């Protein structure tokens, strides 16, 4: 099977050289740039990442500046990207690079994969793209391309399938390993598309593709999720002081959205006649209660269904942090789940 795919390297690398998108982190082979972009791109679309990438690099242009940034500032820069543990791990890894490697980025996969927040894929991407080490970098795009090339109906969400894919790529990597890895990822992102028919007429590998020959590209890859998302109902409160300040609460140091700010909330949907009583439990006297909207937010394994109320209170207290609209925009990292609740 590996021999069947050995010939794809030359046309793939040539295609990538002619068709790669001009992305900000491709302007050089700086491992800091590649690393930050790869972490941002996890679970996030390229279109959403580009603006955040520019802002992040303007504020934190070096490993040293990332290692030293206060957490609140870091989380604000990460706002809108979600999965905030990624940002915290970036800082932890930057601190290790400063302390263990004197600020110089490690150049080998074996060292990279030991850094906080850097798994096999990210280590492979950095090592191959920046230092041309012959190691695979297998993400969902690569798994999709391989599944179609081989007409393979294995479940691509199975870790064993990813391991097999890494072994396959390792065996067929050419000397220009970085261009090969970027090329096959680029192919998956722009041609061998998910959630619909791939653009086979534009694919440099269609002559090697078994799914194309068998006319089954739309059936692949196979993705079988083992667990369903758990539904959680929440009542969310937008408490406003007489001065128009919004109440925020800082979440605990562990669990989902740890250490981030949230809108005050309780589990389950409260009846509207219970809203005032709940506000008083927090030491607030409601003057006006208005149903705002229902909204939802989907995490990897949990779906929040949120019922939101605007509550204008007599006066603010010390139970919460109270912030102006300007401060919310500039200083507080509010997770997307709660940003959806704002009116």
- Residues taking part in catalysis: 38
Q: How far apart (Å, rounded) are the C-alpha atoms in residues 289 and 40?
A: 39
Asked whether 18 and 12 are in contact (CB, 8 A), the reply is: no
User: What are the DSSP calls for 218-261, one per residue?
Assistant: GG-SB---SSPPEEEEEEEEEEE-TT-PEEEEE--SSSTTTT-E
Q: How far apart (Å, rounded) are the C-alpha atoms in residues 236 and 165?
A: 44
Which residues fall within 8 angstroms of residue 243, CB to CB, at 6 or more apart?
316
Which tokens is 22 given?
A: 């001009």
The three-state secondary structure class of 52 is: helix
Q: How far apart (Å, rounded) are the C-alpha atoms in residues 263 and 166?
A: 43
Asked whether 68 and 103 are in contact (CB, 8 A), the reply is: no
DSSP category for residue 302? E
Asked whether 287 and 312 are in contact (CB, 8 A), the reply is: yes
Q: Single out the residue of 171, 187, 189 nearest to residue 179, CA to CA.
A: 187
DSSP category for residue 270? P
Residue tagged 């758990």 (tokens)? 230
CA distances from 239 to 87, 252, 275 (A): 29, 20, 11
Q: How far apart (Å, rounded) are the C-alpha atoms in residues 184 and 79?
A: 30
3-state percent breakdown (helix, strand, coil) of the chain, nearest 5:
50, 15, 35
Q: How far apart (Å, rounded) are the C-alpha atoms in residues 243 and 258?
A: 29
* Number of residues in the chain: 343
């Amino acid at each position: 099977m590996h021999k069947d795919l050995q010939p794809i390297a030359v046309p793939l690398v040539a295609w990538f050289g002619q068709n790669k998108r001009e992305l900000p982190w491709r302007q050089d082979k700086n491992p800091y740039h590649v690393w930050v972009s790869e972490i941002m791109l996890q679970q996030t679309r390229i279109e959403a990442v580009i603006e955040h990438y520019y802002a992040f690099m303007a504020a934190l242009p070096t490993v040293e500046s990332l290692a030293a940034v206060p957490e609140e500032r870091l989380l604000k820069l990460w706002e809108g990207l979600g999965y905030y543990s990624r940002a915290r791990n970036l800082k932890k890894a930057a601190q290790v690079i400063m302390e263990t490697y004197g600020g110089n980025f490690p150049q080998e996969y074996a060292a990279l994969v030991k850094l906080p927040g850097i798994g096999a894929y990210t280590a492979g991407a950095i090592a191959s793209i920046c230092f041309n080490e012959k190691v695979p970098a297998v993400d969902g795009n690569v798994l999709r391309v391989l599944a179609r090339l081989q007409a393979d109906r294995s479940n691509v969400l199975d870790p064993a399938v990813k391991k097999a894919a890494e072994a396959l790529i390792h065996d067929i990597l050419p000397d220009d390993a970085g261009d090969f890895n970027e090329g096959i990822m680029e192919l998956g992102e722009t041609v061998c598309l998910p959630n619909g028919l791939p653009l086979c007429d534009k694919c440099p590998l269609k002559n090697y593709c078994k799914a194309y020959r068998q006319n089954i590209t739309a059936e692949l890859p196979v993705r079988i999720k083992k667990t369903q998302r758990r539904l959680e109902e929440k009542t969310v409160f937008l408490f406003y002081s007489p001065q128009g300040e919004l109440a925020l609460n800082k979440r605990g140091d562990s669990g989902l959205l740890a250490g981030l700010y949230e809108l005050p909330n309780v589990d389950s949907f409260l009846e509207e006649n219970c809203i005032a009583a709940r506000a008083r439990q927090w030491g607030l006297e409601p003057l006006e209660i208005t149903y705002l909207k229902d909204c939802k937010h989907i995490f990897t394994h949990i779906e929040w269904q949120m019922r939101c109320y605007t509550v204008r209170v007599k006066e603010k207290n010390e139970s919460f942090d109270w912030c102006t609209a300007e401060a919310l925009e500039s200083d507080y990292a509010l997770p997307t789940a709660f940003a959806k609740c704002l009116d």
